[in-house]
Amino acid sequence: MNIAIILANGQFPRRREALDAMLQIPLLVCCDGAYDKLVKSALFDGAAHTPKIFVVGDGDSLASRRVVLPNTTFVEGYTDQESNDLTKAVRYAISIGVERLLILGATGLREDHTLGNISLLAMFAAMRTQSGKLLSVRMYTDYGFFTPIRSSQVMPSFARQQVSLFSLDQGLTVSTEGLKYPIVNRQFRYWWEATLNEATGDSFSITIDGEGALLVYQTFDAK
């Protein structure tokens, strides 16, 4: 199965597009505490089909297993305390052949969890799938989405879409075209330096020189 959703144990998604994705994508990997929120959401009540659900984690955030959704498997053996549940879920998804991931529920609630989960995108983007390809990963919030990139890319967009770039590696040299405030051969020391930009059309390009990850944030709605 090529694509899966990972549901993390942050704020449960509220945006309709995210909820629809969980109803449509046939594989869902839940961090353990997120499974309780999924059950309480009643998202699949009355649904014609439910995805295959795998619950991954050390069980420390799972309230109970008294209510079990159809097609649920509790994955045993993920007790490594050196990595968090989101990383365990990503590694598990890769182990069953997934090459594309949409991460939901990874932000909101505690700010340290939010920052930690967003920063993990750089590591996930460097992971290899079973076929040897780099993992394709994107993180959705209720307001927009983060895409980690490690090479020059053209990003689909729309006029007045709000765009922020976060350079996680100070050695990266970044240039852009198609943004309201162009960036030309810049290296960034601080996360805020390339934030609050705006797309001017249906795409913008990012040129990267150097090794490392750049996080691209794009809003769902125009300003």
Query: What is the tens place of the pLDDT at every residue in 129-145?
Result: 999 999 999 999 999 99
Biggest CA-to-CA distance, the chain: 56
Domain boundaries, the chain: 3-142, 146-222
Residue 46 gets the label, from left (phi > 0), alpha (psi -120 to 50) or beta, of left
Residues 6+ apart with CB under 8 A from 187: 167, 170, 171, 172, 173, 174
Contact between 24 and 83 under an 8 Å Cβ cutoff? The reply is no
CATH 3.30.70.1710 fits 3-142, yes or no: no
Residue 46 pLDDT grade (very low, low, confident, very high; cuts 50, 70, 90): confident
Q: What is the dihedral of CA 19, 25, 29, 35, to 10 degrees?
A: 30
Residue 170 pLDDT grade (very low, low, confident, very high; cuts 50, 70, 90): confident
200 has a pLDDT exceeding 90: yes
Average pLDDT score over the chain = 92
Residues 6+ apart with CB under 8 A from 40: none
Can you tell me the distance from the alpha carbon of 91 to that of 87, in angstroms, rounded to the nearest whole number? 6
Burial class of residue 147 (count of CB atoms within 10 Å of its CB; 0-12, 13-18, 19+) = middle
Q: What is the pTM of this model?
A: 0.93
CATH fold for domain 146-222: Rossmann fold (3.40.50)
Residue 80 pLDDT grade (very low, low, confident, very high; cuts 50, 70, 90): low
pLDDT of residue 183: 97
Bridge partners for 145 per DSSP:
140, 218
Paired sense of beta strands 52-56 and 136-140, if any: unpaired
Are 3-142 and 146-222 the same fold in CATH?
A: yes
Q: What is the CA radius of gyration of the chain?
A: 18
Query: What is the tens place of the pLDDT at every residue in 147-165?
Result: 999 999 999 999 999 999 9
Residue 47 pLDDT grade (very low, low, confident, very high; cuts 50, 70, 90): confident
64 has a pLDDT exceeding 60: no
* Three-state SS letters, the chain: CCEEEEECCCCCCCCHHHHHHHHHCCEEEEEHHHHHHHHHHCCCCCCCCCCEEEEECCCCCCCCCCCCCCCEEECCCCCCCCCCHHHHHHHHHHHCCCCEEEEECCCCCCHHHHHHHHHHHHHHCCCECCCCCECEEEEECCCEEEEEECCCEEEECCCCEEEEEEECCCCCEEEEECECCCCCCECCCCHHHEEEEEECCCEEEEEEECCCCEEEEEEEEEC
pLDDT of residue 65: 60
pLDDT of residue 109: 87
pLDDT of residue 49: 84
58 has a pLDDT exceeding 90: no
